[in-house]
Amino acid sequence: MIEVYLVGCCVAYTRLEQVGNVTIGLGGWSLIGACVAWLMLALKLDARMVWEALPPGHARSLPASSISCRTCELLVDARLQQQPCPRCGAVLLRRKPDSLRRTTALVMTGFLLYVPANILPVLTIERFGKQEPNTIIGGVHELIVNGLWPLAIVVFTASVLVPLLKLFGLTLMLFLTRMHSARWLMMRTRLYRLIDMIGRWSNIDLFMISLLVAMIQFGALTTVRPQPGAIAFAAVVVITMIASRCFDTRLMWDAAES
């Protein structure tokens, strides 16, 4: 998640500049270099290639009924269900247990927490005894006022739109699966992959808050304190990430067939 952390650092940097003169040190440039190197590695490296390099490698002759390991994607005989994967040791399951119920409960919790996460202040800046509460939208507005439109769009998308996309996307998938609908199966599967991939970008504001709270502690001059909105927002991010991991896309295809 280093690239998300780097964007969080950029947002925190713009806030720090309002307090005093800030320059990027050697550690900051090293972090940017590490992020670029990681992105290059992520573009080149195929996780399946790494797993397939480990024994027992490709399944040479697949049985009539097989299941896929959730961790390393090795196809094994379905009779090995609930036993350890021969390659990575993860427990082999035909489908994720209680997938629909768990995802439904987490999505409902996510919707409930989304409201306080966006209404309540996520941090308060105290300057000479005067308190300035900041909400997520307030932070985006501040970036726009400072002329940082690209960063404002990134933060608005990651903190406001992405959690909503995840919650409504998962709700649609749960509803259509329970209705045994065969509509848009390919599109729903692609949407799930998108939701699962972009979910971690919502951590930008959390990284920014943690950096500001740690760095701006100048007593009566300027102090930043986290507020209850940050806890609600962190809960939304974590819950939606767990919800997307709990959902089993294969259930959509099972339901359509039945």
**Applying CB under 5 A, which residues contact Zn ion?**
69, 71-72, 74, 85, 87-88, 90
Hey, CA dihedral for 43, 48, 49, 50, is it positive or negative?
A: positive
Residue 221 C-beta: closest distance to Zn ion, Å: 55
Residue given tokens 């692609």 in the structure block: 190
Contact present, 151 and 11 (Cβ < 8 Å)? yes
Q: How far is the CB of 83 from Zn ion (least distance, A)?
A: 11
Q: Which is nearer to Zn ion, 68 or 222 (CB)?
A: 68
Helix/strand/coil (H, E, C) string of the chain? CHHHHHHHHHHHHHHHHHHCCCCCCHHHHHHHHHHHHHHHHHHHCCHHHHHHCCCCCCCCCCCCCEEECCCCCCEEEHHHCCCECCCCCCECCCCCCCHHHHHHHHHHHHHHHHHHHHHCCCEEEEECCEEEEECHHHHHHHHHHCCCHHHHHHHHHHHHHHHHHHHHHHHHHHHHHHCCCCCCHHHHHHHHHHHHHHHHHHHHHHHHHHHHHHHCECCCCEEEEECHHHHHHHHHHHHHHHHHHHCCCHHHHHHHHC
Report, in Å, the least distance between residue 81 CB and Zn ion.
13
Nearer to Zn ion, 59 or 137 (CB): 59
Complex with Zn ion: residue 39 or 90, whichever CB lies closer: 90
Instruction: Provide the minimum distance between the beta carbon of 196 and Zn ion in the complex, in angstroms, as a whole number.
Output: 19
- Closest distance to Zn ion from the beta carbon of 75 (Å): 10
Q: Which residues contact 180 (CB under 8 A, 6 or more apart)?
A: 255, 256, 258
| CB of 88 or CB of 164, closer to Zn ion | 88
Chain mean position to CA 118: 17
Give the residue with the Cβ less far from Zn ion, 69 or 224.
69
Q: Smallest gap, in angstroms, from Cβ of residue 124 to Zn ion?
A: 47
Tell me whether residue 85 or residue 154 sits nearer to Zn ion (CB atom).
85
Nearer to Zn ion, 35 or 59 (CB): 59
Please, which residues bridge with residue 224 across strands? 125
CB of 90 to Zn ion, least distance (A): 5
